[in-house]
Amino acid sequence: MRRVVGSVLMLFAVVAAVLGAGIAIVLGTDNRAETGPHEIETSAPVVVTSPEVFSWAGPTLTMRIDVDKDQQLFIGAANAVDIADYVGSTQRTEISSYNPPWSIGTRDVFGDAPLPAAPGQVDWWMAQSTETGSATISVKLPEQAFSLVVIAVGGGDLDGLQVTASYDIDGGFGIGLGLIGFAVGLGLFGWIAVQGRPLVREGELIEDEFEPDVREGV
Amino acid sequence: MRRLALAVVLAVLAAGCAIPHPKDSHGVTKVAASDAEVEQIYDRYRDYRKDALDLLDEQPLTAVESGAVLAIDTGALRVARRLLLTKAPDDTQDLQIRAVYAPRLDAYPLWFIVVVEDGVRDLTKVQIFQRQSSTSPWLLVASPETLPSTELPAFDSDTTDALMPADPFRQGQLVMSPQKAVNAYAATLNNAAPTEDPVVSEDSFVTQMRAVANKQRQIDGVTFSQQWTARPVQYVIRAADGGVLVFGTLARVDDYQIEEGRYIDWPEGSEQKAFLSGRLYSSGELHYYHQILVYIPPDGDDKPVVLGQYGGVVDGIGY
């Protein structure tokens, strides 16, 4: 029984060590994982992410978008309900799925209406940036449903759009090292259990090894 | 070993919510507005309302109000302009937010409820602000008033303290659906006298409206009739006791038919004088809106009751 428990503990230790090492290696000492640049094929003036793309909360997402150097562009992050209403009747490319490190699904949505207002005129952006050629925003992924939108401002389209994304997790590298340390301790504990050695504290009486001093006759 | 495990757990907790974790389970929804956003929206409303009262002009109100409440306030300002002949405009207002309730919604229009104490008129306003689309402004769309002594039922809320809206056409565990209750009030008010077994309460709102109508019927030489109709209900919220609170709107038309050879000279400053201009020789019609706040109890012996109302003349024609 003790050996079974020990083996299970060592198995957990290996998993924790691999997980910890993975986190530490992927994030590095700057606590950041980066991917890109990746090109997204689109001829629409708007690219938007579905709420399902960001199904996790917590990390800080930094996204850099590059388009034609003369094209003015806007990047905004907001609640998915706001963005769905805002781009609802406009031609756009929707990023419908994402798997790390970089695998996306897209679909083109047709519409004939322009955006109902310039993006700078609405008040519900969590983060926004307007630049020419290249723009970057940083936003902490919130608990609420969330979307990102990229808009070609002043006409034009987003042909040749490239995305570079990074995730920042505060203290992520430390968490990875902590997991490795935890794995080492857990593994040691499991190894001792597998060896079958009893855990004896100094000064304790071990009944099995006690041999009475018996002398016959005088 | 235990210490090591504890250290790891503490490190993980210290990293707090920065650690990636699945989002909350509320799907693609949004709580209409935070308390801080409501403060900003209401500050803007106060500013525009003050300008309107100052100028006795409804134009500033069109930026912050919509629908029946804008029509009622526009009518009130028109009457006030008539009164201006003898009085200076009074732009005093003391509107203090006492509570904010916002539902979690999955699409526009977004709306929220704000309970406001009106220090000038010693009333409580239970108001609804709505944003029709993501690019439109927040507008006041309902503003029934209650007496300070009137207690609103406790509202039902989800785990995030968001209001729980209800379907206007669904009866569920209620004595009747919200739309049916507002329709029933219109039907009740179309009866000049109380009926034997009314489906809604013969409350102070019904009594007061009947008294006003009966007074008009007593004008000599005039045939007076009144017609009430219910508008579609849009806003319903669940109460903690299983009932609901309904924001309904009733439209009322007062019709005056004057006997040949007679005329009516309306009192100066009255809404009739403002909308029917001077003497009425033949016939006249005044249109009113009344926004009512109706509590519908859960299924049982109790009847729907009006907790508050806000109404006034919105249009008229006469000759």
The pLDDT value given to residue B210:
93
Long-range contacts, stretch B175-179, CB < 8 angstroms, 24+ apart:
B175/B296, B175/B297, B175/B298, B175/B299, B175/B300, B175/B302, B175/B303, B175/B304, B176/B296, B176/B304, B178/B233, B178/B236, B178/B244, B178/B246, B178/B248, B178/B294, B178/B296, B179/B230, B179/B232, B179/B233
> In this structure, are residues A83 and A152 in contact, taking their beta carbons and an 8 Å threshold?
no
Find residues 63-92 of chain A whose CB sits inside 8 Å of chain B: 79-86
pLDDT at A200 over 60: no
CB pairs under 8 A between A and B: 107
Long-range contacts, stretch A100-103, CB < 8 angstroms, 24+ apart:
A100/A35, A101/A35, A102/A35, A102/A36, A102/A38
Say whether residue A96 is in contact with chain B using an 8 A CB cutoff.
no
The pLDDT value given to residue B27:
86
CA B190/CA B184 separation, integer angstroms:
10
Closest residue in B to A82 (Cα–Cα) = B134
Query: Residue B23: its chain A contacts at CB < 8 A?
Result: 54-57, 142-146
Residue A189's pLDDT band (cuts 50, 70, 90)? confident
- Read off the pLDDT of each residue in B284-298 and give the average, rounded to a whole number: 95
Q: Which helix (H) or strand (E) element contains residue B45?
A: helix B35-55
Judged by CB atoms closer than 8 Å, whether chains meet at B30 and A182 is answered as: no
CA A143/CA A121 separation, integer angstroms:
25
pLDDT at A205 over 70: no
pLDDT at B145 over 80: yes
How many helices, marked H, and strands, marked E, lie in chain B? 6, 15
Residues in chain A, total:
218
The pLDDT value given to residue A208:
53
> In this structure, are residues B312 and B289 in contact, taking their beta carbons and an 8 Å threshold?
yes
Between the two ends of chain B, the Cα-to-Cα distance in Å is: 95
> In this structure, are residues B286 and B272 in contact, taking their beta carbons and an 8 Å threshold?
yes
> In this structure, are residues A76 and A128 in contact, taking their beta carbons and an 8 Å threshold?
yes
* Structure token pair of residue B97: 């937010």
* Structure token pair of residue B318: 């006469």
Judged by CB atoms closer than 8 Å, whether chains meet at A121 and B8 is answered as: no
Find residues 6-45 of chain B whose CB sits inside 8 Å of chain A: 7-8, 11-12, 14-24, 26-31
Query: Residue B20: its chain A contacts at CB < 8 A?
Result: 56-59, 141, 167, 169
CA B139/CA B121 separation, integer angstroms:
22
CA A124/CA B133 separation, integer angstroms:
12
* Structure token pair of residue B84: 């201006």
β B30-31/A72-79 pair status: unpaired
Judged by CB atoms closer than 8 Å, whether chains meet at B26 and A174 is answered as: no
* Structure token pair of residue B293: 């706040």
Query: Residue B7: its chain A contacts at CB < 8 A?
Result: 178, 181
Query: Residue A84: its chain B contacts at CB < 8 A?
Result: 28, 107
More confident residue, A194 or B126: B126
Closest residue in A to B14 (Cα–Cα) = A171
Closest residue in A to B40 (Cα–Cα) = A123
Work out the percent of chain A whose per-residue pLDDT is above 70.
Answer: 89
- Read off the pLDDT of each residue in A158-171 and give the average, rounded to a whole number: 85
- What does the pLDDT look like over A74-122, one tens digit per residue? 999 999 999 999 999 899 999 999 887 788 999 999 988 899 999 999 9
Say whether residue A103 is in contact with chain B using an 8 A CB cutoff.
no
> In this structure, are residues A38 and A162 in contact, taking their beta carbons and an 8 Å threshold?
yes
* Structure token pair of residue B99: 């509570």
Query: Residue B18: its chain A contacts at CB < 8 A?
Result: 58-60, 140, 169-172
Phi, psi for residue A33 in degrees, rounded to 5: -115, 130
The pLDDT value given to residue B9:
53
Residue whose token pair is 């507008």: B139
User: Side by side, which strands form the sheet with A32-39?
Assistant: A32-39, A162-168, A60-66, A134-140
- Read off the pLDDT of each residue in B144-151 and give the average, rounded to a whole number: 93
Say whether residue B107 is in contact with chain A using an 8 A CB cutoff.
yes
CA A128/CA A153 separation, integer angstroms:
13
Most confident of A44-53, A188-197, B192-201: A44-53
β A72-79/A127-132 pair status: antiparallel
Bridge partners (DSSP) listed for residue B216: none
Q: Which of B9, B13, B30 to mutate to test the interface with A (most CBs of A within 10 A)?
A: B30
- What does the pLDDT look like over B295-308, one tens digit per residue? 999 988 899 999 99
The pLDDT value given to residue B37:
95
The pLDDT value given to residue A24:
73
Ramachandran area for residue A3 (φ above 0: left; ψ -120 to 50: alpha; else beta): alpha
Closest residue in B to A168 (Cα–Cα) = B18
Residue B14's pLDDT band (cuts 50, 70, 90)? very low
Q: Which helix (H) or strand (E) element contains residue A194?
A: helix A172-195
Of B151, B142, B157, B173, nearest in space to B246 by CA: B142
Select the residue of B22, B28, B108 nearest A145 (Cβ to Cβ).
B28
CA A179 to mean position of chain CA atoms: 17
Say whether residue B4 is in contact with chain A using an 8 A CB cutoff.
yes
CA B277/CA B171 separation, integer angstroms:
45
Query: Residue B19: its chain A contacts at CB < 8 A?
Result: 58, 169, 175
Q: Give the DSSP letter string of B153-200.
A: PPBPB-TTS-B-B--TT--TTBSS-HHHHHHHHHHHHTSSS--SS-SS
Q: Which helix (H) or strand (E) element contains residue B229?
A: strand B222-230
Judged by CB atoms closer than 8 Å, whether chains meet at A182 and B4 is answered as: yes
Residues in contact with A218: Cβ distance below 8 Å, sequence separation at least 6, in sequence order? none
Q: How far is A51 from chain B (nearest CA, A)?
A: 7
CA B246/CA B5 separation, integer angstroms:
55
CA B37/CA B285 separation, integer angstroms:
42
CA A46/CA A128 separation, integer angstroms:
15
Say whether residue B85 is in contact with chain A using an 8 A CB cutoff.
no
Of B123, B147, B47, nearest in space to B91 by CA: B47
